Every structure is written in structure tokens, then in C-alpha cells.
Amino acid sequence: MAEPILKVRNLQTRFFGTEGIVRAVDGVDFDVFEGRTLGVVGESGCGKSVTARSILRIVDRPGRVVGGEVWLKRAGGGPAVDIAKFTEAQMRDIRGPEIALVFQEPMASFSQHYTIGNQIVEGIRLHMGLDAPAARKRAIELLDMVGVPQPARRVDDYPFQLSGGLRQRVMIAMALACDPRILIADEPTTALDVTTQAQILDLLRSLQAERGLAIILITHDMGVIAEMAHDVSVMYLGRAVESGPVAEMFARPQHPYTRALLRSIPTVMAKPRTRLPTIAGSIPHPFNRPAGCAYNPRCAEIMGEICGQAEPPQVDTPQGHVRCFLHGGAP
């Protein structure tokens, strides 16, 4: 396989509050390849969205990226650079032209006081240096590309005049405005009906095929992962507990958390009115992080005292990587 376009190593983000420090991202590692989709999956509160924001260094206060490396192969060629060491001015050249983010909730991400055209044009003029008429023409072309009907008219609409599905398409158009090579899609189908979800996923797939986009797809939906991803990183409490090719993970899941997530998926073979399996307990409070393996209070395959005393190291397996004493690494 070719060299990854993006390598994240030991990424760490902390939130410093009056009650204590929250380890929102606690040593995340993954690789992203051109033309492939990395699915990042886990329950709400596992640190998926904060990981995406940490890559672009747009974490809200009192959060701060405190460690790790983010190696990016830039469009101009040459060796990869660690953008984690970039200044804020340098990061502005990365956000948009190199890495773009489709936010989780478009209605909260758009300004309601400006038309969607104005908001797309702003990024185009900032990064691509086009004059106002050329930037507007490109905005209309982008809206047409993502399937917004009557783009020449819709370009002057305000966000509140659009449906949820159209707002998500406009958000994708805005993210693609400066021809990024990496697209981070944070829960792009949340709160959309099933038909619109399928349309958005088809759109992302076609854009990837046309442009060779590398996509980081953040979701809690294992069905979306099965449909869209080539590689998977399963996150729990700020860490990737398992990673590898999507086919291997679904066929031979290594971590108890991954197995529990897969068991909770409804199947067409299930008997009607049968209660779905659930994962016992809930994600621990950020200020009450368990000792040892973070998953041990909920784990159905706990090995004994070791799981509550030490954090399992990452172990390489034929299927990928896993953090679990079931696969070795016990001190």
C-alpha cells in the first residue's frame, strides 16, 4: 500500500476545567490513505469529534492539544510535515486547501445572517484569490456538483430556507470549495431521514471516486461504517482500542468493545420483538476515569485484576491493532 497522506501519532487533547482535567483525546494513532475512507466509530463521548478538531487545531476553550504528531503529505510534494508544530498562520493554509471539515450540525455552523453563497464565496476568495464574480460562479458550480437543485437561485438563499439534507449538501460544497485532498465528515447523516442519509453517503462516495479524496468518516453507526469505510478505528474514552481493515473487523473483531458494538446491530434475521443486546453500563464520567483499561467496568470478557490495574498496550495482530490483554501485552 502507498504511503499515507496523513499520519496521526499519539495525539493528545486536554480540557482544563475548574473540576479537573479531561483527557478527551488520549494518545490516538491512525493512518489515512488517498482515495480511501477511514471510519472512526464509537459511542457518543468517546472523543471522535474532538479528534477531528484536534487535527485542525480548532478545539474550543478550555481545550488544548497538548501532544502528538500529525504528519501531512502536502499537495506540492516533498516529505511529510508535522502540522502539529505549525503556527496559527500556517494552519490557515491547511484548513480548506489541504484538509476540510464537514461539521456535525450545519444549522449551527452556518451564519443565519448571510446567504449560503456569501459564506462559500468567502472561503474561495480567501484561499484561491478569485475576484467576486469568479468566486460566485465557482460557488454555483459547487452547489450543482453536490446536487443542490437550481443552484443559480439557491446560491442567494439563507440557511434557514433549506431543508436538512440541502444544508448538509451545502456544507459539503463549502468544504470542497478549495479542492482539499482530505475531507473530515463528522456525523454527516445525523438527524437526516433514511433516504437523505443514503443520498449523502452516495454523494461522498462519488466525490471520492472523482477526486481521489481521502475521507475520515466519524460516526456511531456501524452500518454506515460497513457501507462506506475501507479502514476502521474504534474509539473508547479518547483512545483507539482497535483498528484495521473494515472486512477483518466485521469478520473477526478483536476487542470486547468492538464485539459488543457489532452485537447491538439489528439484523434482518432477528426475530420480531426481540430485545437487542446492549452494552452494560455507560461511558465513565470524564472526572472519574477508571484505573487500568478504561473499558474494564463494562467488559463481559474481563480477565481479572490486571484489567483494572494496568492500561493495555497496543498489540499487533493479523487483523490490525488492538489494545486488550486478551491478545497479550500483560506486564
Q: What is the DSSP letter of 95?
A: B
Contact 1, 33 (CB under 8 A): yes
Using the 8-state DSSP alphabet, how is residue 80 labeled? -
The Cα–Cα gap between 318 and 223 comes to 24
Give pLDDT, residue 1.
59
- State residue 100's pLDDT score: 92
pLDDT at 152: 93
HSE value, Cβ hemisphere, 13 Å, CA-based, for 107: 9
**Contact at 8 Å (CB) between 240 and 28?**
yes
pTM of structure = 0.91
Say how far apart CA 326 and CA 176 lie, in whole Å: 43
Residue 59's pLDDT is what? Answer: 92
Q: Residue 293: its pLDDT value, please?
A: 92
Environment class of residue 308 by beta-carbon count within 10 Å: exposed (0-12), middle (13-18) or buried (19+)? middle
Model pLDDT, residue 230: 95
Give the per-residue pLDDT at 3: 87
Q: DSSP string spanning 157-178?
A: --GGGS-HHHHHHHHHHHHTTT
Residue 108 has pLDDT above 80, yes or no: no
Which of 223, 188, 228 has its CA nearest to residue 205?
228
> Quick check: 331 pLDDT over 70?
no
Chain mean pLDDT for the chain:
89
Helices (H), 95-240: 106-109, 116-128, 132-145, 151-154, 164-175, 194-211, 222-228
187-216 average pLDDT score = 87
- C-alpha grid cell for residue 250? 466485521
User: If you search the block for the grid coordinates 471539515, which residue do you land on?
Assistant: 101
Hey, what amino acid is at 176?
Answer: L
Rounded to an integer, the average pLDDT of 230-239 is 94
Torsion of CA 196, 197, 203, 204, to 10 degrees: 160
Whether the pLDDT of residue 269 is over 80: the answer is no
Supply 43's cell numbers: 459511542
| Cα–Cα distances in angstroms (integers) from residue 314 to residues 17, 91, 240, 306, 329, in the given order | 29, 30, 9, 15, 8
The pLDDT value given to residue 18? 83
* pLDDT tens-place string over residues 249-265: 999 999 999 999 998 88
pLDDT at 178 over 90: no
